Chains A and B, each alone.
Chain A
Amino acid sequence: MKTDAESLLKKAVKISSLPTVFNQINEAIEDPECSFLEIARLIGGDAVLSARLLRLANSSFFGFPSPIETITHAITVIGMAPLRDLVLATTVICQFRGMPQNGIDMNAFWRHSIACGLGARIIATYCHEPNVERYYVLGMVHDLGRLIFFMNLPDQVSRALEHCQARGELLYRMEGAAIGCGHAETGALLLRKWRLPERMQEAVCHHHHPSGARHYQLETSILHVADVIAHALKLGSSGDLLVPELDLKAWKRIGLPEGLLSSIINQMDHQFPDAIQMFLKEG
């Protein structure tokens, strides 16, 4: 039976909206009259979230010379917009916690997402992009469509996956035929339901075909390249076990020399264990 992304998401009621705390924080950050203290109070209201953010602020992600002990201090040194993205990255994982696993290894899934996020963040830094944390979030959410497939259509996806693995094919290329819609567009639709910015929706929607992006080509290309690298390094998996096809135009658009790949990979390998600790450790 073929299905479309819209009706798939209707079934996934539990994840159809983000937790209120994220929306409150988001609104507060958008509000020019809202003070640091009020935002800190909002974050502080969620003990798990504040503990995670403080752990993040004190990690090698930022490498600040002295310890950061309060949320207000964290906001001051990290900045509002990056902090919001980090809140989102932590929230997304919590959102899917306790979901039926249905043949997907959740740990491997998040490891792939984190690796992709790290890659995108590092590439964005080399591209001198402002607020690189938003690239990290892009990596975290780029394959959420797959999770929705595994949650709602476990048998269909598992069959398609077996078929691909036996023939050395790529799953994303045959999702249309096997399921009726692609994981990229399903993920993008979920982000729209979550009322996340259009640039995130577009990057996720086109992360396998970055040339299809109309407005946010650089974001989409960076996410695409990071996804390819994460697959090549075999850091986790979201279903596909082979390296997806690299769009050479996307690599050209990013404008980095090939020689930089080794630094990108070294940094990914270096930051990966820390990021896993911070984002996947319970509590």
Chain B
Amino acid sequence: MEKRDAAIDSTFAAAHPDLKTISWCIVVKVKLENLGPGEVVARDVKDHRGRIILDAGKAIQKKHLKIFKVWGVTEVYLENHQPKKNLSLPDGISSRQLEEIQLEMQKLFRHNPVEHPVLKELFDLCVKRELTHRGGKGEGETQ
């Protein structure tokens, strides 16, 4: 789900002098919705004007998640983040239905390169949205 870009991150290394023995670490861009408290940010978190909201090397607290949202931060850089499992299926949706939805979406997006990050994001969001819609409609139905 996340775009992975491996980079030698000097900011993170500077903020962690105890990690000097490690010459580099993998930095991953993670979306706000996939973040949890306790994770350590690898780069300064800034708002759209460049104002620093959280320094590199600090751990994210619950309140920070709210602050990020308020200031329009949508993604942060974390060190060696383990991505969460893929989409969780809402109640009343089977994996077969998920495949059906994905197939429908592929038809809908057939004129677009869905491997490009922005289109992949739009595609995934549309699948997720359709899942929620059908899940909501299918409430009370037995599978």
Q: Do A and B bind each other?
A: yes
Chain A residues engaging chain B, CB cutoff 8 angstroms = 126, 168, 170, 228-229, 231-234, 241-246, 248, 251, 257-263, 265, 269
A259 adjacent to B74 (CB under 8 Å): yes
Q: Is the CB of A248 within 8 A of B125?
A: no
Chain B interface residue count, CB cutoff 8 Å, equals 23
Partner of B110, one of A168, A231, A262: A168
Are B110 and A259 in contact (CB-based, < 8 A)? Answer: no
Q: Which A residue sits closest to B133, measured CB to CB?
A: A269
A-B contacts besides A168-B107, A243-B109, A265-B129, 20 pairs, CB < 8 Å: A168-B110, A228-B122, A232-B122, A232-B126, A234-B108, A242-B107, A242-B110, A242-B111, A243-B108, A246-B112, A248-B116, A257-B74, A258-B117, A258-B118, A259-B74, A259-B121, A260-B72, A262-B33, A262-B121, A269-B129
Distance of A244 Cα from B125 Cα, bound (Å):
17
What are the 6 closest A-B residue pairs judged by CB atoms, nearest first? A259-B74, A258-B121, A259-B75, A245-B111, A258-B118, A259-B31
Given contacts A126-B72, A246-B118, A265-B125, contact A259 B109 (CB under 8 A): no
Contacts of A269 in B (CB 8 A): 129
- Kindly state whether residue B119 has any CB partner on chain A within 8 Å: yes
Say whether chain A's binding surface is mostly helix, strand, loop, or mixed: helix
22 contacts between A and B (CB under 8 A): A168-B107, A170-B111, A229-B122, A232-B123, A232-B126, A233-B129, A242-B107, A242-B110, A243-B109, A245-B111, A246-B112, A246-B118, A251-B118, A257-B74, A257-B75, A258-B117, A258-B118, A259-B75, A260-B72, A261-B118, A262-B33, A265-B129
Counted as pairs of residues, one from A and one from B, with CB atoms less than 8 Å apart, the total is 60
Q: Does B32 contact A (CB under 8 A)?
A: yes
